Amino acid sequence: MKKIMITGSLGQIGSDLIKRLRQDYGVQNVIATDIRDPKDHPAVKEGNFEILDVMNRDKMFEIAKKHNVDTLVHFAALLSATAEKNPQFGWDLNMSGLMNALEVARELNLKFFTPSSIAAFGPNSPKDNTPQDTVQRPTTMYGVTKVAGELLCDYYFLKYKVDTRGVRFPGLISYAAEPGGGTTDYAVDIYYEALKNKKYASYIGKGTYMDMMYMPDAIDSIVNLLNADPAKLVHRNAFNITAMSFDPEQIAASIKKFMPEFTMSYNVDPVRQSIADSWPNSIDASAAKKEWGFAPKYDLDKMTLDMLQKLSVKLNIPFKAK
């Protein structure tokens, strides 16, 4: 992996991955692309940036060829809550975007990474410690596209030998770019509101457990899986990974440890609650640990303290852990 192109790179994961890859591989060797072009974004100002709508396969091919990339990381997609509002567009964007990216990877012989999600499981998957290989009958459009995407990536590896790799991400928590349109986003919003208002009304109900991970661990997982020895990869495209599982009460309790005046109430959103109810409480990441050494570093309290400290700088709101 020497020259990497990223689609949807100004989103939550891309914003952090660009920084890491530019540090590791050199600024000029990371080609950031996105449908948006905010001129003041560091990724746009610092290095190579190209406007790309992933529905346009010719343009994607042209950019990859022009920059002579050897790796394609494909993020552009609608997340769960947004896809549920417009399922037809969710299918079109998530599936055509992925198919275009896989075709570009096939034609140019690129290494390929795209994320799947805990959303690839459904209400009849085992709820706790959900195995790597098990029943997958998701009931959201996002989940349907994630299962289809996992299979499509397997297909491109088996049929065309494209070096496809991927993980099932849990909810990702980060401070650089805010997530948009997910179900797990409450676990990001809560830190912003804790700093701004010392209180938060959760749209996810008490007792709803979901897998989560802090962004530095997610970024490590992408880089480590892309660099993993292919001979050791049995699963390739849909590794379960997780760092923690909690419900709103537990993340609130973690914030209170550092900010005792913080309070939480509930204002449950039925749509996002029913999506969360269809997902696992916790998934089993043992295949990722065994096949490529996945090892997250952040637990809930370590993440909470870092999030509050980093966000206080970003938002310019004083914070001192109690």
Q: Which among 25, 142, 175, 203 is annotated as catalytic?
A: 142
Q: Any contact of residue 118 with ligand AKB (CB under 6 A)?
A: yes
CA separation for the pair 148, 96 (Å, rounded)? 11
Among 9, 48, 71, 80, binds ligand AKB (CB under 6 A): 80
SS3 content of the chain, % helix, strand, coil (to 5): 45, 15, 40
71, 117, 136, 242: residue in contact with ligand AKB (rule CB under 6 A): 117
Q: Does 125 bind ligand AKB (CB under 6 A)?
A: no
The verdict on whether 142 is a catalytic residue reads yes
Q: Strand, helix or coil at 23?
A: helix
CA 65 centroid distance within chain: 26
For ligand AKB, which residue of 10, 13, 21, 79 counts as binding (CB under 6 A)? 79
User: How do strand 30-34 and strand 4-7 relate by DSSP bridges?
Assistant: parallel
How many chain residues are in contact with ligand AKB, going by CB under 6 A?
11
**CA 242 from centre of chain:** 11
> Is residue 119 a contact residue for ligand AKB (CB under 6 A)?
yes
To ligand AKB, the closest distance from the beta carbon of 213 in angstroms equals 10
- Coil/strand/helix, residue 240: strand
Measured from the Cβ of residue 155, the count of other Cβ atoms closer than 10 Å reads 14
Q: Which whole-number Å values give the CA distances from 255 to 33, 194, 247, 282, in the listed order?
A: 35, 8, 13, 21
Contact window for ligand AKB (CB under 6 A) among 51-59, 104-112, 176-184, 289-297: 176-184
Work out whether 182 is an interface residue with ligand AKB (CB under 6 A). yes
CA-CA distances (angstroms) from residue 50 to 7, 24, 156, 179, 209? 10, 21, 26, 21, 39
Q: Establish if 190 lies at the interface with ligand AKB (CB under 6 A).
A: no
Q: Is 184 in the site for ligand AKB (CB under 6 A)?
A: yes
Cβ contact 98:164 at 8 Å: no
Which phi and psi (to 5°) does residue 3 adopt?
-135, 120
Q: Rule CB under 6 A: choose which of 7, 100, 183, 278 binds ligand AKB.
A: 183
Residue 159 in tokens? 């049929």
Q: Quick one: tokens of 76?
A: 């552009």
Q: How far is the CB of 79 from ligand AKB (least distance, A)?
A: 4
Q: Which stretch binds ligand AKB (CB under 6 A): 1-9, 59-67, 115-123, 257-265?
A: 115-123
The SS3 of residue 37 is: coil
Examine residue 145 and tell whether it contacts ligand AKB (CB under 6 A). Answer: no
Indicate the residue among 71 and 183 with the shorter CB distance to ligand AKB: 183
Site for ligand AKB in 12-31 (CB under 6 A): none
280 sits near ligand AKB (criterion: CB under 6 A): no
Per rule CB under 6 A, is residue 171 in the interface with ligand AKB? yes
Residues forming the active site: 142
- List interacting residues with ligand AKB (CB under 6 A): 79-80, 117-119, 142, 169, 171, 182-184
